[in-house]
Structure 1
């Protein structure tokens, strides 16, 4: 990418800003056009993950090289299971939609802003990609600037609220969004938004769905804005993504 957001600004964003943002839609998400007022932060592409193939995984699903994973997680300051999820999703999308050119650091930026990679509020992220306690967004009851969305029996099974909807998991998916985009990122046969391996692959496919090229400023901003229609959110994701890319080099 052409220009990297200043690392100082990125680090300030990483240290000072966090919001459990939700996908603000009332049904299955459709990627929208960027807000006309949206600024265009530039995002650099992080070094690509090294890969290997585990023949025991379904369809020879690409596996992130363990040495690259350990080295880059330490350098970037990302929990190793989280980086495994983000980098693994990038490798899958390289095969499925090579023209999208999604970098793992974009997913890491989203993961930081949404839930600090599943560690918000003192949680820890396990080796299985699950937080020590479920990550739930606020009730979407019409207050606090959120939409009013009633839960369904299916969505209540994810978050336990029989009245109002909540975004679920480290990447904050609504049940209606998950019903369309849910993925099994770790090949265990279950698509679960509380599993960061699954959520990262679902988010990657969602970001690439409209044919955006994420190495262009406009494409990256449009894709990220479709995940959460908020200019400040997009700017914070960009700051985090650029900081991770700089640390990983």
Structure 2
């Protein structure tokens, strides 16, 4: 959600070509040793988590959040967003929280905080004046995308989910961020079970051809290898 100006929606065969494969589904279990804490009890199978993190090069803590968010979306919204779609977004937006030497810690928080450039209309961005008084992004003039999944403060205010049940919503917490991304994609764009719906959801996150292709390529790679 970096606010980059788009170049139009792909249609027809091009649209079909870039949709990722059917998402691989992490197995739910209430006894997962490395499960993501969740207010609704959703957990990700520990064996699947360890094996998939190793094979795909995704940090386990980030993958746990993507898997739990996918399972939660299926149970809550009837929407198969796919852990691999969330992982594709996480890779493109912040390399799963690892930009510039950072990492997601054991509590699920990206450190140091990931804060984007001012969305002031330059550098191919949309001009988005401040909407949160700088509370999330430290900028009281222009909004900036924040956290490992790069939410704009205004969008976060509407869709934020407290996935880890700590009583607050934090875009820098990958549990909250992944669950919020799943909610946004599913509730704004339906079940995501058609190429058109999936593409519309991804382009609502960042409306450019290049972004759509990057997320689709990463999501497909994760699905095929995970």
TM-score, length-normalised on structure 1?
Answer: 0.80
Q: Does 1:136 align with 2:109?
A: no
Distance 1:182 1:23 in 2: 18
Say whether residues 1:188 and 2:166 are aligned partners. Answer: yes
Q: Quote the offset at 1:42 in angstroms.
A: 2.4
CA distance in 2, matches of 1:113, 1:222: 17
Residue 172 of structure 1 is matched in structure 2 by: 150
Change (3 A) 1:161 1:92: same
2:186 to 208, 213, 218: 208
1:25-78 per-residue CA deviation (whole Å, 9 max, x = no partner) reads 9xxxxxxxx934454112112321111237xx7765211122221111111110
Match of 1:35 in 2: 8
Q: Report the number of matched residues.
A: 216
Residues 218 and 117 of structure 1, relative CA distance in 2, 3 Å threshold: same
- Give unpaired runs (5+ residues) of structure 1: 1-20, 26-33
Aligned to 1:107: 86
1:45·1:105 contact (CA, 8 Å) conserved in 2?
A: no
Cα distance between partner residues in 1 of 2:150 and 2:91: 11
Q: Which runs of 5+ in 2 are unaligned?
A: 32-36
Q: TM-score, normalised by structure 2?
A: 0.88
| Per-residue Cα deviation, 1:96-155 (whole angstroms, up to 9, x for no partner) | 121x22110000000000000110111122122212200011111221121222224x34
- Are the structure 2 counterparts of residues 211 and 229 from structure 1 closer, same or farther at C-alpha, using a change threshold of 3 Å? closer
Q: Secondary structure at the match of 1:156?
A: coil
